[in-house]
Homo-oligomer: A and B are copies of this chain.
Amino acid sequence: MSLIQRHTAGEVSPANGTTHEVETTVKSNTPVNGEYRLLTLDAPQSVLDCQPGQFFHILCPVTTTEQPYLRRPMSIYGYSAEKGELQFLYKVTGEGTRALATLAKGDRLNVLGPLGVGFTIQDDWQNLLLLARGVGLATLAPLAQEAQRLNRKLVAICSARNADVLMSIDHFKSLGAEVITVTDADGTSDLENLRAIIEGRIADQGVDAMYTCGSNRMLKLLQEIGATHNIPGEIALEQQMACGLGMCQCCVRSFNREGTITQERVCREGPVFGIEEAMAW
């Protein structure tokens, strides 16, 4: 039985008709550490009615050396209708993100969004737990903002290779989240320690819902813990995308829905799915 009531393919209407292809202006595009950059855009109101977990599909610039063609999906890291601002936290990996990294204040950037179905925070979920590593922080960060708005308790377990590349700790703290950091360097990021930390939270404060992003290891861990303690959870998934809108059917993943394997589009039925239905890959 599905623990969380989710949209099914038939009744999806993501972004409530608020998806737009718009031109934005770069406010800043600054390195966060050696690998990650934070991009802040001046964006029109039409695209700022966002949900945590939704994403934008970004048309990266073309330069003499970098010529990305398809758009690149990026989770919303921050959004503020008041400030007219949209933020992305991205890792420079290939052609598209290298091109993004060349953007300077005042440059224009075409973005499409907000897209997809974001995270759920049900009314009776008071104690939230999120488990993030690497770029997953970008996806999970707005959940802290929403938790604060809804007056819920949030503990963020942030994992990284070492302390230098731990990101967004202050961001989470400023949004009232409790932060637990674990790193490979300290030997605190292994699965068994994570399990112990989470089990401890469940025993002490209680956990009503768990959120994570990306990794197979974390998915399996939270699936096990969730099944044992009957705690629902959600995961944001990634897949290669072309259209981002649900048209091309390239971004499917398999889900186990009450014993049947179905294929759902990450861009449309997702990117956020129930932890119990997601399948390790």
Which residues of A come within 8 Å of B, CB atoms? 61-64, 67
Give the residues in chain B near A64, CB-CB below 8 Å: 61-62
What's the nearest-Cβ distance from chain B to residue A208, in Å? 46
Q: Secondary structure of the A side of the interface?
A: loop
What's the nearest-Cβ distance from chain B to residue A1, in Å? 49
**Alpha-carbon gap, A63 to B99, bound state (A):** 11
Of chain B, the residue at the smallest CB distance from A61 is B64
Give the residues in chain B near A63, CB-CB below 8 Å: 62-63
**Alpha-carbon gap, A63 to B60, bound state (A):** 11
What's the nearest-Cβ distance from chain B to residue A63, in Å? 7
What's the nearest-Cβ distance from chain B to residue A118, in Å? 30
What's the nearest-Cβ distance from chain B to residue A3, in Å? 45
**Alpha-carbon gap, A28 to B263, bound state (A):** 57
Give the residues in chain B near A61, CB-CB below 8 Å: 64
Give the residues in chain B near A67, CB-CB below 8 Å: 62, 67
**Alpha-carbon gap, A226 to B24, bound state (A):** 62
